[in-house]
Amino acid sequence: MSRRLTTALSATVLASALVLSACGEEAATTPSPTASGVTVTGSDPAKAPTVSVKAPLAVKTTGSEVLTDGTGATVSKDDLVSIQAVIVNGTTGKVVNSTWDSGAVGLDLGAEQLFTSFKSQLPGKKLGSRVLITSTAADAFGDTGNENIGVKKDDPIVFVVDLVSATKALDEAQGKAVAPKKGLPTVTMNPGKPATITVPKGAKAPAKTIVQPLVEGTGPEVKKGQTVRVAYTGALLKDGSVFDSSASHPEQPAFDFVVGSGQVIKGWDNGLEGQKVGSRVLLVIPPADGYGAAGSPPKISGTDTLVFVVDILAAY
């Protein structure tokens, strides 16, 4: 889905490799009895395992094995999870990607577009586990494959996944109300609808982005590289007119992005890092940290300062 707060930059190849939609029948939910032709060496969660595949690998049914049993909570089918993963092309035996090279990746196990192999095989496993998934092509990259990382449409895939953490998203900001500084726009929340952002008369555009918590959450601080889920409303400082809101997208009323990756405007990347989950944050963003001199026509010009109210619902 295209949204105005995103920049023209696409997500990283690795993140898209793990969340592109797949076509095919529902995968088996029972573990495979063996993973013939696959050898995994290493159990240190701080290091990528070595995965050897006797190629070409024939996979008739998607299945999984727990290589290292974790001691954490059991993962649910609608959890937001953080994982480390090695991806191997079962036809060639080549490692095509590894999160150990770039950092853990967040996945929404309840998302329709997530690989069927993940949706069927990760729920029920414990946090801290290392899981081997042997996946049919249909349950992974589907009918198209992913040429960017060297996967064709008929290639089976081997995943070795470490389950790092899991959480569930809040419905709205939760925490202690914070009195904003005088002269800033005020916010009225309207459940199920865009927030009302009222700009005081004579409000001047700041030279630098203003970050003003309105509610201080009690969750963990958002870190660079994490996937965050937010609800938001964006308006123009010059007149308070709303140009976008997550509430205007009923098919997906929250928005996920990777902090610090350039998937969103700079004011978001910098302004939300370090804030706590559960917080409601007011951002007043000048063009340099927004859409620059080009703006985002037709509603946002190159001189427009933006005002956002953002609820941080999860970080994973």
Burial of 293 (0-12, 13-18, 19+ CB in 10 A): exposed
pLDDT digits (tens, 9 = 90+) for 245-279: 999 998 888 999 999 999 999 999 999 999 999 99
Percent of the chain with pLDDT over 70: 89
183-191 own/partner pairs: CB under 8 Å, 24+ apart? 184/210, 184/212, 184/282, 184/284, 185/235, 185/237, 185/240, 185/282, 185/284, 185/307, 187/214, 187/280, 187/282, 187/309, 189/309, 190/247
197 classed as catalytic? no
User: For the chain, which residues make up each domain, given as ranges?
Assistant: 13-167, 175-315
CATH number of 175-315: 3.10.50.40
Catalytic residue among 118, 141, 243, 316: 243
316 classed as catalytic? no
Taking residues 23-36, report their average pLDDT.
44
Collect all residues with Cβ–Cβ distance below 8 Å to 282 and sequence separation of at least 6.
180, 184, 185, 187, 210, 211, 212, 213, 214, 307, 308, 309
Enter the pTM of the model.
0.86
* Fold: same for 13-167 and 175-315: yes
| CATH for 13-167 (3.10.50.40, 3.40.50.2300, 3.40.50.1470, 3.40.710.10) | 3.10.50.40
pLDDT tier at 10, thresholds 50, 70, 90: very low
Catalytic residue among 87, 265, 300, 312: 265
Q: Is the pLDDT of residue 29 over 60?
A: no
CA distance 198 to 246: 18
pLDDT digits (tens, 9 = 90+) for 66-99: 999 999 999 999 999 999 999 999 999 999 999 9
Q: Is the pLDDT of residue 3 over 70?
A: no
pLDDT digits (tens, 9 = 90+) for 117-168: 999 999 999 999 999 999 999 999 998 999 999 999 999 999 999 999 999 9
pLDDT digits (tens, 9 = 90+) for 208-234: 999 999 999 999 999 999 999 999 999
Catalytic residue among 118, 141, 159, 232: 232
CA distance 289 to 13: 24
Catalytic residue among 108, 155, 244, 311: 244
Catalytic residue among 115, 257, 291, 316: 291
Residue whose C-alpha is closest to residue 17's, from 132, 127, 128, 95:
95
265 classed as catalytic? yes
Catalytic residue among 157, 308, 311, 316: 308
Q: What's the angle, vertex CA 185, arms to CA 182 and CA 187, rounded to 5?
A: 115
pLDDT at 36: 83
Collect all residues with Cβ–Cβ distance below 8 Å to 165 and sequence separation of at least 6.
81, 82, 127, 316
pLDDT at 82: 98
Please answer whether residues 72 and 128 qualify as being in contact, where contact means their C-beta atoms are separated by less than 8 angstroms.
Answer: yes
CA distance 21 to 15: 12
**Across all residues in the chain, what is the average pLDDT?**
90
257 classed as catalytic? no
